Structure 1
Amino acid sequence: MTKPWISLSGIGVFAVLLLGVAPFVLTDHWLNNLGKYCCWAIVAVGIGLVWGRGGMLVMGQGVFFALGAYSMAMHLTLETAGDRIPGFMVLYDPLAPLPAFWEPFRSAGFTLLAIVVLPVVLAGVLGYALFKRRVKGAYFAILTQALAVALAILISSTIRETGGDTGLSDFKYFFGYVLNDPANKLMVYLIAAGLLVVCLLAVWQLYRSRFGELLVATRDAEERVRFLGYDPANVKLVAFVVSALMASIGGAMFVPIVGIITPAEIGAAASIMMIAGVAFGGRASLFGPALGAMAVGWGQSSLGSTWPEGWTYILGLLFVVVILFLPNGLSSLPARIAAARRKPDAQPTPAAVPTAAELEEVRS
């Protein structure tokens, strides 16, 4: 097991690179892209907790990503529109009033509260219903992915209320700050990068706590944990809720950085891409999920723009190769290289087998 101070030092180095070095060496374009990767990395850190340590394959994190993203997008849309009805609503019905569920999102405080409370409540209710009934494995993965697909379809079909497939975009302000200002763009990036560091610290603390030990024990021997007097459902539920909260935070910061949110960012394909990043980096390690998500995000930005159709196949091939040859992700590669270089222990010399002539001489 990695010593705690080594992981903590790694978080410190990671924070220095993101917050102290990147803003000075990257162009505005790539800094904005790095902010987008940080949002995906926040989601991946939560997936690493619930999948890597808890053994629960969550393929529907797009649901909680959407809660944070659309909460933030609704507030920014209303902030841009001012006292008027948002432009996409006027386009379909100039006389239609603002939907009632939009009105509270005029408040910045309510928006921030919704980003935190909505995923916690939904994950709490969903997790309690599933874990208490001992739903796990493939059934749990399929169910969570089905929820992401259902939510994406619902948003696509409510074009007058949510913008449908076109989504919400054209944001001018971020809590009073002009988004086109380079200084404010830098501020938004620093917030996203800072939240990623905070999430890494939170998960690092959870890993080394008694809860982290119980989570691993629940993954490896659920019945033994139950016999020791702990309820595995409660342990899983806490991890699932924390993961959902991180996904919502990542979605909320994704909106001002990218400038748009559509159902394509929350459906099955998006959720699978989040899982692929975690698997690529190494789901059981602390930094693997974040680095893997950032690497996959970079691949999507670089290859997806030049070869959009082929990028999907590359992502699928990458996922298969990692599962077959590096089941623990790239984070396990240094340990495997070190093990390969290590000299094998000296093997005892096998005893000489007597020949037939020698056996005959012994008998005589």
Structure 2
Amino acid sequence: MRSGNIFLKRNEVVFVVILSALLLVVFPMALDSFRLNLVGKYLTYAFVALGLVLCWGNAGILSLGQGIFFGLGGYGMAMFLKLEASSPEHTAIQSTPGIPDFMDWNQITELPAFWLPFHSLTLTIVAILVVPAVFAWIIGVAMFKRRVGGVYFAIITQAIAAILTILIVGQQGYTGGINGITDLRTLKGWDIRTDFAKEVLYFVNVALLLGCLLLAQFVRRSKYGRILVAIRDKEDRVRFSGYDVSNFKIFIFCFASVLAAIGGAMFTLQVGFMSPSFVGIVPSIEMVIYCAVGGRLSLFGAVYGTLFVNYAKTIFSESFPELWLFAMGALFIGVVMAFPNGLAGLWQAYAQPWFDRIGQRGAPRPISPAPISPTAAPAERRT
């Protein structure tokens, strides 16, 4: 793969190979089905972290509401799976067969119109990609066209996440309420609850994550990515140069929302349910912590940071479940104060120079040409 502004550099190719080997070879060989599915669940959050690197790290847009788009993608996939599990044969004991059980419990006798497209897997995939992008576009136009940014944008996105959570919980008959959408069984007749299915979904998840990582890296290496960095550092200067700053921000915000929605859809497939607890303020802040711990300037660091924080959360919460949120806050404060560039910054500061020195030792030394005597013949001097 060529080295350049858009293509991966040589060391980044090495990082891709190492990450691919870790996710596709080491974890499947070393972990049982339960733990592997747990890692797959962690990796669904990495999609959100990738988008945050582009938004927060490159463009300087801190969004505290990425759980919105994660939830939209997750609910979209859950709606399709729930309709497949709610066939008239499976729901014959209900008052109204053919609709999800929570609708029947809330005395709804007809499938709502906005649920109808989710009978089709193709339309579901389109909705998972388009609906979050449109929603992000509406938010972006409303905010960035009015030059709302910084802490104000972060607070507004946090408020929207809280509003969406309240809306989902309040509309129990249409969304499943606080319990969410559960009892998801098959995908086009394929049972997703078996260990084999979860392993297959894990590899699909990894393939999508690596593809999104390469696509995000392509965006960062392009001219568009360089303009985003310029907007982060000197927004007024970019605006005075003739660029429409708001359009650049809107696009990258929409792109990050689509990445988060893909992660949400894969989360539903990996875990087998979706609930409003993954949409609100707390999960959105946790997703920012994943990015900060890994390094908000590194896409690879975001993936490793997501794995590290979630693994620590699993281990710590098993022993001290009530103290995990305090530990998460302390971790975030410690990262910001001690190493603001996260794990990627530690690698660049300590490990990368060491590897560079090893590479320089192994590289062949250039051979300098032998000096030519001034008394040599003209032909020899030309040689």
Three-state SS of the structure 2 residue aligned to 1:249 is: helix
CA contact (8 A) 1:72 1:252 kept: yes
**Aligned 8 A contact 1:11 1:200 in 2:** no
Match of 2:303 in 1: 290
2:210 maps to what in 1? 197
Residue in structure 2 matched with residue 89 of structure 1 by the alignment: 103
Q: Give the one of 44, 62, 72 matched to 2:77.
A: 72
Cross-structure match for 1:47: 52
Match of 2:32 among 19, 27, 30: 27
Cα distance in 1 for residues equivalent to 2:76 and 2:59 = 28
Are 2:244 and 1:239 aligned? no
Give distance in 1, aligned partners of 2:279 and 2:297.
Answer: 24
More displaced, 293-302 or 323-332?
293-302
Q: 1-10 or 246-255: which moved more?
A: 1-10
SS of 1:171's equivalent in the other structure is: coil
Are 2:349 and 1:336 equivalent residues in the alignment? yes
For residues 234 and 36 of structure 1, what CA distance do their matches in structure 2 show?
33
Question: How many angstroms apart in 1 are the aligned matches of 2:37 and 2:111?
Answer: 32
1:137 and 1:297 mapped to 2: Cα distance?
Answer: 27
The question of whether the paired residues in 1 share the 8 Å contact of 2:46 and 2:302 is answered with yes
Query: Which amino acid counterpart does residue 309 of structure 2 have in structure 1?
Result: V
State the 1:162 CA deviation.
0.8
Partners of 2:352 and 2:24 in 1: CA distance: 35
- Give 1:238 shift: 1.5
Per the alignment, residue 114 of structure 2 pairs with 101
CA shift, 1:338, in A, is 6.6
Structure 1 residue 132: deviation in Å? 1.1
2:67·2:279 contact (CA, 8 Å) conserved in 1?
yes
Which range moved further: 7-16 or 261-270? 7-16
Match of 1:259 among 264, 272, 277: 272
Aligned to 1:358: none
Listed as ranges, the gaps of 5+ residues in structure 2 are 89-97, 355-383
Structure 2 counterparts to residues 30-179 of structure 1, below 5 A: 30-83=35-88, 84-93=98-107, 96-179=109-192
| 2:320 alignment partner in structure 1 | 307
Q: Deviations over 1:104-152 (max 9, x none)?
A: 1111111001001101111112112211111100000000111111000
Q: Cα distance 1:39–1:338, how it changes in 2: closer, same or farther (>3 A)?
A: closer
Match of 2:373 in 1: none
1:12, distance to aligned residue in structure 2 (A): 2.4
Shift of 1:194: 0.9
**1: CA distance between counterparts of 2:345 and 2:11?**
16
TM-aligned CA distance change 1:161 to 1:248, over 3 Å:
same
Match of 2:229 in 1: 216
**Structure 1 range deviating more: 269-278 or 331-340:** 331-340
- Matched to 1:180, the amino acid is R
Deviating beyond 6 angstroms after TM superposition, the runs of 4 or more aligned structure 1 residues are 338-341
Q: Any idea what SS the aligned residue of 1:101 has?
A: helix
Residues 174-185 of structure 1 correspond to what in structure 2 (within 5 A)?
A: 174-185=187-198
Structure 1 residue 340, shift from structure 2 partner? 11
Query: Structure 1 counterpart of 2:151, which letter?
Result: A
1:249 shift after superposition: 0.3
Q: Is the 8 A contact 1:59 1:271 kept in 2?
A: yes
**TM-score using structure 2 length:** 0.85
Shift of 1:339: 10
Structure 1 equivalent of residue 331 of structure 2:
318
Give the number of aligned pairs.
Answer: 340
1:92 maps to amino acid? N
Q: Does 1:17 align with 2:6?
A: no
SS of the equivalent of 2:297 reads coil
Structure 1: distance between partners of 2:99 and 2:248: 45
Cα deviation digits, residues 192-215 of structure 1 (max 9, x gap): 111110111011111111111100
Q: Secondary structure at the match of 1:169?
A: coil
Letter in 1 for 2:85: T
Residues in 1 aligned to 2:344 and 2:351: alpha-carbon distance in whole angstroms: 13
Name whichever of 269-278 and 332-341 sits farther off.
332-341
Secondary structure of 1:127's match? helix
Taking structure 1 as reference, are residues 196 and 339 closer, same or farther at Cα in structure 2, changes over 3 Å only?
closer
> Counterparts of 2:319 and 2:145 in 1: how far apart (Å)?
47
Q: 2:310 is aligned with what amino acid?
A: G
Identity of aligned residues (%): 42
Root mean square deviation, CA, Å: 1.9
5+ long unaligned stretches in structure 1: 342-364
Q: Distance in 1 between matches of 2:317 and 2:270?
A: 18
Amino acid of the structure 2 residue aligned with 1:29? F
Bigger mean CA deviation after superposition, 175-184 or 332-341: 332-341
Aligned to 2:340: 327
Aligned residue in 1 for 2:381: none
Post-superposition shift, 1:250? 0.4
With over 3 angstroms needed to count, the CA separation of the structure-2 counterparts of 1:243 and 1:76, relative to structure 1, is: same
Q: How far has the Cα of 1:70 moved from its partner? A: 0.5
Pairwise CA distance, 1:170: 1.2
